[in-house]
Amino acid sequence: MEKAIEILKKNNYKVTKQRTDLLDYLGKFTVQYVSINQITNYMHTIYPGMSNNTIYRNLKEFANIGLVEYQEKDKTLVKYQCDFKNKHHHHFVCTNCGKVTELKACPIEFFTDQLPGYTVEGHAIEVYGLCADCTKKLKTAKS
């Protein structure tokens, strides 16, 4: 939370009770995505009069300054930034339990080598499948 507050201040955002409560809730989701609907439902339990637009705007601002990440496959899912030291990273997402694992390597050079003369302006890579725990459970269930 301290790092998130520091990033808010550095980017000239006010540190309000609503923002800290939102960040506190998002901090529970570092290894899995949470739906924006779930976030709005939670925030409405604390702040019944808070508009959805305020929540969406804050999430977008948090994404712009690197506090949260949207899932590339489904923009209605968001999670707290899992690596403040290395904002550029990729994920493996378990399609069964939703667990997110950070991938350490970036394969962009593989693609840019195939695009001589092109200018790549960005990329996002997410790999989907079953995590080790879900794979083990599936194999056990089939035995």
Per-residue pLDDT of the chain in tens (143 residues, 90 and over written 9): 888 999 999 999 999 999 999 999 999 988 888 999 999 999 999 999 999 999 999 999 998 898 988 886 766 777 777 555 666 778 788 888 888 888 888 888 888 999 999 998 888 788 889 999 999 998 888 87
Q: Which CATH number does the domain 2-80 belong to among 1.10.10.10, 3.30.40.230, 1.10.3720.10, 3.40.50.150?
A: 1.10.10.10
Give the residue ranges of the annotated binding site: 88, 94, 97, 109, 123, 131, 134
pLDDT value for 93: 85
The pTM score is 0.71
pLDDT value for 92: 86
pLDDT value for 138: 87
Distance CA 52, CA 17 (A): 17
Same fold for the domain at 2-80 and the one at 91-142? no
Token output for 135: 């794979």
Give the residue ranges of the annotated binding site for Fe cation: 88, 109, 123
Fill in the amino acid letter for 139: K
CATH of domain 91-142: 3.30.1490.190
Token output for 64: 């712009």
Distance CA 91, CA 125 (A): 7
Give the residue ranges of the annotated binding site for Zn(2+): 94, 97, 131, 134
H helices of the chain, where? 2-10, 17-26, 36-46, 52-64, 108-112, 132-142
Nearest to 40 by CA among 26, 20, 61: 26
The residues spanned by each domain of the chain are 2-80, 91-142
